Amino acid sequence: MAVYALYPLATTSGSPIGVQAPSELAPGTPVSFRSMSEHDGKLSAPVAGEADGASVKTAPRSGIDELTWLVISR
Protein backbone atom coordinates (compact mmCIF):
# COMPACT_ATOMS: atom_id res chain seq x y z
CA MET A 1 0.00 0.00 0.00
CA ALA A 2 2.68 2.52 0.97
CA VAL A 3 6.39 2.98 1.65
CA TYR A 4 7.73 5.85 3.76
CA ALA A 5 11.25 6.93 4.68
CA LEU A 6 11.47 7.65 8.42
CA TYR A 7 13.96 10.15 9.81
CA PRO A 8 16.54 9.86 11.28
CA LEU A 9 17.32 6.76 9.24
CA ALA A 10 18.74 3.69 10.99
CA THR A 11 17.82 4.86 14.50
CA THR A 12 16.69 2.01 16.75
CA SER A 13 14.54 1.98 19.86
CA GLY A 14 14.47 -0.30 22.88
CA SER A 15 10.68 -0.07 22.98
CA PRO A 16 8.06 -0.27 20.22
CA ILE A 17 7.40 2.89 18.19
CA GLY A 18 3.69 3.25 17.40
CA VAL A 19 2.99 4.20 13.78
CA GLN A 20 0.02 5.93 12.14
CA ALA A 21 -0.41 6.95 8.48
CA PRO A 22 -3.29 8.43 6.47
CA SER A 23 -5.47 5.91 4.63
CA GLU A 24 -8.89 5.54 3.07
CA LEU A 25 -9.20 1.82 3.84
CA ALA A 26 -12.48 0.69 5.36
CA PRO A 27 -12.60 0.61 9.16
CA GLY A 28 -11.42 -2.73 10.54
CA THR A 29 -9.21 -3.59 7.54
CA PRO A 30 -6.11 -5.39 8.88
CA VAL A 31 -2.68 -4.15 7.77
CA SER A 32 0.94 -5.01 8.50
CA PHE A 33 3.78 -2.64 9.27
CA ARG A 34 7.40 -3.64 8.55
CA SER A 35 10.68 -1.79 8.49
CA MET A 36 13.34 -2.47 5.87
CA SER A 37 16.99 -2.96 6.87
CA GLU A 38 19.32 -0.18 5.77
CA HIS A 39 22.09 -2.76 5.36
CA ASP A 40 20.63 -5.65 3.38
CA GLY A 41 17.06 -4.64 2.45
CA LYS A 42 15.42 -7.43 4.47
CA LEU A 43 12.02 -6.78 5.99
CA SER A 44 11.41 -7.03 9.73
CA ALA A 45 8.77 -9.29 11.21
CA PRO A 46 5.28 -7.87 10.58
CA VAL A 47 3.58 -5.73 13.21
CA ALA A 48 -0.22 -5.90 13.18
CA GLY A 49 -2.32 -2.83 12.62
CA GLU A 50 -5.78 -1.78 11.54
CA ALA A 51 -7.56 0.92 9.54
CA ASP A 52 -10.12 3.22 11.14
CA GLY A 53 -11.45 4.85 7.95
CA ALA A 54 -9.08 7.84 8.04
CA SER A 55 -5.76 6.22 8.96
CA VAL A 56 -3.96 2.96 9.60
CA LYS A 57 -2.13 2.44 12.89
CA THR A 58 -0.29 -0.18 14.87
CA ALA A 59 -2.10 -1.99 17.65
CA PRO A 60 -1.85 -0.44 21.15
CA ARG A 61 1.52 -1.04 22.85
CA SER A 62 3.06 -2.42 19.63
CA GLY A 63 5.10 -0.91 16.85
CA ILE A 64 8.34 -0.98 14.91
CA ASP A 65 11.78 -0.78 16.54
CA GLU A 66 13.85 0.80 13.75
CA LEU A 67 13.41 4.05 11.84
CA THR A 68 14.32 3.21 8.26
CA TRP A 69 11.98 2.50 5.39
CA LEU A 70 8.45 1.73 6.57
CA VAL A 71 6.35 -0.66 4.47
CA ILE A 72 2.59 -0.83 5.05
CA SER A 73 0.72 -3.70 3.39
CA ARG A 74 -2.56 -5.58 3.55
pLDDT in tens, 33-53: 999 988 888 999 999 999 999
- pLDDT value of residue 1: 76
Mean pLDDT of 14-39: 94
Q: What is the mean pLDDT of the chain?
A: 93
In order, the DSSP letters of 10-68 are TEEEEEEE--EEE--PPTT-EEEEEEE-TTT-PBPPPEEEEE-SSEEEEPTT--EEEES
